[in-house]
Amino acid sequence: MRIDVLSLFPNMFTGVLNESILKRAKEIGKVEYNVINFREYANNKHNTVDDYPYGGGAGMVLKPEPIFNAVESIKAKTSSKPRVILLCPQGEQYTQKKAEELAKEEHLVFICGHYEGYDERIRMHLVTDEISIGDYVLTGGELGAMVIIDSVVRLLPGVLGNEDSPVLDSFSTGLLEHPQYTRPAEFRGMKVPDVLLSGNHQLIEEWRRKQSLKRTLERRPDLLHHYPLSDQDKKWLEEIKAKKHDSNL
The number of beta carbons lying within 10 Å of the beta carbon of residue 83 is: 16
In the set 105, 130, 150, 169, the catalytic residue is 169
Tell me if the bond preceding 184 is cis, omega within 30° of 0.
yes
- Known binder of ligand: residue 134? yes
Cα 128 → chain centroid: 17
Burial class of residue 186 (count of CB atoms within 10 Å of its CB; 0-12, 13-18, 19+): exposed
Which residue in the list 129, 142, 154, 166 is annotated as catalytic? 154
Catalytic residue check, 246: no
Helix (H) or strand (E) holding 85: strand 83-93
Tell me which of 53, 89, 130, 208 is the catalytic residue. 89
- Partner residues linked to 85 by β-bridges: 110, 129
Q: Is 169 marked active-site? A: yes
Contact 181, 193 (CB under 8 A): yes
136 belongs to an annotated ligand binding site: yes
Q: Is 67 annotated as a binding residue?
A: no
Q: In which order are the strands placed within the sheet that holds 50-51?
A: 50-51, 61-62, 117-118
Q: Is 133 annotated as a binding residue?
A: yes
118 is in an annotated binding site: no
> Does the annotation count 177 as an active-site position?
no
Contacts of 39 (CB under 8 A, 6+ apart): 8, 47, 49, 66
Residue 138, annotated ligand binder?
yes
**Which listed residue (116, 130, 150, 233) is catalytic?**
116
135 is in an annotated binding site: yes
166 is catalytic: no
Q: Which residues are catalytic?
A: 89, 116, 154, 169
Task: Write out the binding residues for S-adenosyl-L-methionine.
Answer: 113, 133-138
Going by the annotation, the residues of the binding site are: 113, 133-138
